[in-house]
Structure 1
């Protein structure tokens, strides 16, 4: 684009007025951070349902541009008895061998009274010992606390208090918990999300906005698959008020996230910092040539470890090969002040996160500004009543083929606005005060858009979503069983920015 054309484009988008809104010398909020791609939900041979060695998982992650990775093998009796120290040793070797990758030793916690969540620590003394202790006391596979009932929900809160105690006594600097695939079985109720977050808003900070196992809906793997493994119906431990449509993905995203005015928006409407991520949930990766070797049926039960997988010859597509390597399909991009584990955790905790599928966008910047200040994703912009508030969106569209071999095209970005109305019932599933405020159609490789809210009077939040529009509609559509190639329906989402009015 010529400089004249570029200037006309920026004028048409209203960008030349943004400098005045920001004030002279005020930098874009997004420019303060390094934006690092990663994944907090991946498995190895130390999961009862996994396969990859730690090094195989890391090499795959690095091939796809991963900057940070948490290894989160499943809680399990054999895992607690045999796997934790062995995983720690493998990760120490990997950290020395691959210093370019920020690594965590976490776990996928079977949450009492619910389903699964990611857990990982910052600067923990005796990390393996703390993980084993936590798993032994608070994982429902070990203590029988699976059923959805008040006693088990209280046990989940006791687990969070355990982490708070470890932080207070200096055993660890911090911890993070993300609820995984919340609507896959509908077993985590809205009041459980609120209760955990209320107890520890610096620990339980969000959920997977999109589950892993995205290849499960690909017709190549055979009939009957569902993106994310969302093929279930309500069960005995499911939260009864969830409607039947909640158990499906929409453009690969969880119903809680994809439904405008739904569960996620109801939490944001209360002003809660409840953030979304997107992850691989990597166990067996679609089209990979690494395969599990034959082993005794009791191999994992006796040792807490599957035999090392080996390189094969034929790309695998049949079940259970329905996942992707970290950052191959799903990316969680975090704004970090430094390239350190602590800075990534701080960025996740603060909600400085956007997520994308299939390489839909190379970069996505989202700022909200008013006289004297600017905030990016996860931030809270405080303004005086009657102020003007301007949104600045910058998207760098994809120019390189993704893992499926094509360059995706972002066809539309939606700016979504929701009113912050204060706390509601702990069982709230929806809020009516949310709408798509404005939509943009990117036309250049570097797309820049603005929107100004005049004379703001009440608090609100803003978030973005984008799509390739390949389903013929710009609203997320329910993914069809066995006919939902993930590469043919790509979306991206940002976390919100809150505008607080004084």
Structure 2
């Protein structure tokens, strides 16, 4: 077993304790979904007219009903329709995309379908906006797009200012049933490792500070995973994806770990960003065909949103796993525990026990494979005391280090509680890579599969 100790990054700030309550888990199971899917209402524009005229099917040929059918066929139980905007697109949303959503819900009732859009973030790039179902879900989305979307005005660049995003978040957080927002492909415009483009870590912090219960995370694994030349459409050779995951997530001690070490409840997901499927000459997989976000929830829209807001979810590609239990316990008091998205309060002298159980699917994935898990890694981030940041510690478990119980694999790790608190997360892969390697043109994404958990937080009890 390999233990990696990395240099500290930033200090951990205090956060209220939230312990998961088992009695609230009644009826919950892992709900697979996708929050970034495009349809024919991601229109192109005829700019020879004034105002520009929307061209149906310009960026995707598929109906919303077709996308819902594909999502269900690929094992999803929920999906968000996220067409992107443009000059005056809020009218397209109102007049066309909304009726198409109602039709898709009628035609595919087994799939929970959320109203949403790929929001054009002012002074940045894109985010998935997810509206809570209700009587005003159409008007909520139209208003947000019309009043705050970067691409909505007919005069270009009039909203290319960060104050518009903060205003949008202030509007959203004040709604009776606030929507969710997750930043899409955060490093796609980066020019190098740690050399950011249109999304910077400081912006993520500012947005999260403005509405921590609205802007709750980012795509850990972006879509466009079938793109042959640039996986994820991360076109800059100096800033690729790593095992299909964004550098902000894939680097131990990187941006995501830094934010977690600050105590931020900031989660990751995996999506398709489906526009045109690879079998139709595109560079995408269908919803659920390759990437899935699993949420621990009842098969109810409200509980799925609650699971996403609270971090009860994990991201996976290629159906490497379909269930996960990541638990942190007090070693000598096993009844005291917390799971993903939760927090466990421990004394500074305690020993904590990290337990991971994962299940591999009984059926082949949608490439006809039964992926073989090569290794699992448990990752602990903690404050570095007098140092300027936290210490990252990772323990790698090969195939001889876990117990197999049918489709389930389990492992554990006992270690001292981080002196100043911290977090625990997990990841695993079919590859033998000690750390995820940079993705290269032409590689087969089906041979490079990963899962990533969301974190469990550890807080230190006051003396």
Smaller-chain TM-score range? 0.7 to 0.9
Equivalent of 2:179, from 152, 175, 181? Answer: 175
- Pairing 1:252–2:247 present: no
1:284 counterpart (260, 276, 281): 276
Matches within 5 A, 1:86-485: 86-143=96-153, 152-165=161-174, 167=175, 170=176, 173-185=177-189, 186-217=197-228, 225-232=229-236, 245=238, 247-287=239-279, 316=280, 318=281, 321-336=282-297, 338-370=298-330, 371=333, 372-420=335-383, 433-441=391-399, 442=402, 444=404, 445-454=407-416, 457-469=419-431, 472-481=432-441, 483-485=442-444
Distance 2:200 2:85 in 1: 21
1:20-59 matched pairs, under 5 angstroms: 33-48=28-43, 49-59=59-69
Q: Tell me which of 450, 457, 461 is aligned to 1:498.
A: 457
Pairwise CA distance, 1:34: 1.5
Task: Please give the alpha-carbon distance, in whole angstroms, between the structure 2 residues aligned to 1:455 and 1:54.
Answer: 48
Counterpart CA distance in 2 for 1:31 and 1:124 is 24
Superposed CA offset, 1:177-222 (max 9, x none): 00000000121111110011111110000000010000003xxxxx
- Larger deviation: 138-147 or 401-410? 138-147
In the TM superposition, residue 72 of structure 1 has moved relative to its aligned partner by 0.5
Q: CA deviation at 1:499?
A: 0.6
CA pair 54-404 structure 1, distance change in 2 beyond 3 A: same
Partners of 2:61 and 2:300 lie apart in 1 by: 28
Quickly say closer, same or farther: Cα 1:465–1:275, change in 2 above 3 A. Answer: same
CA distance in 2 between partners of 1:29 and 1:164 (Å):
25
Distance (Å, rounded) in 2 between the aligned partners of 1:70 and 1:454:
41
8 Å contact from structure 1 (residues 208, 278) kept in 2: yes
Structure 1 ranges of 4+ moved more than 6 A: 26-32, 144-149
Q: CA deviation at 1:164?
A: 2.2
Seen in structure 2, the aligned counterparts of structure 1 residues 45 and 112 have a Cα distance that, compared at 3 Å, is same
Tell me if the contact between 2:65 and 2:103 (Cα under 8 Å) persists in the aligned partners.
Answer: no
Going by fraction, where is helix more abundant, 1 or 2?
1
Query: 3-state SS of the aligned residue for 1:386?
Result: coil
Which residue matches 1:312?
A: none
Give the drift of 1:144.
7.7
Conserved in 2, the CA contact under 8 Å of 1:57 and 1:325?
A: yes
| Alpha-carbon distance, 1:440 to partner | 4.1
1:227–1:144 distance in 2 versus 1, CA, 3 Å: farther
1:61 maps to 2:23: no
Contact 2:346 2:417 in 1 (8 A): no
Distance 1:215 1:107, change over 3 A: same
CA RMSD of aligned residues (A): 2.5
Where structure 1 has 5 or more consecutive residues not aligned to the other structure, the ranges are 1-25, 218-224, 234-244, 288-315, 426-430
State the alpha-carbon separation in 1 of the partners of residues 178 and 146 from structure 2. Answer: 20
Aligned equivalents of 2:143 and 2:113: distance in 1? 21
Unaligned runs of 5+ in 2: 1-20, 44-58, 190-196
In 2: Cα distance, 1:32 partner to 1:434 partner: 36
Q: Distance in 1 between matches of 2:88 and 2:226?
A: 28
Aligned partner of residue 359 in structure 2, secondary structure: strand
The 2-side partners of 1:90 and 1:396 are apart by: 36
Aligned length: 411
* TM-score normalised by L of structure 2: 0.83
Contact conserved, 2:403 with 2:411, CA < 8 A, in 1?
no
Q: After the TM superposition, which of the residue ranges 124-133 and 379-388 deviates more from structure 2?
A: 124-133
SS, match of residue 466 in structure 1: strand
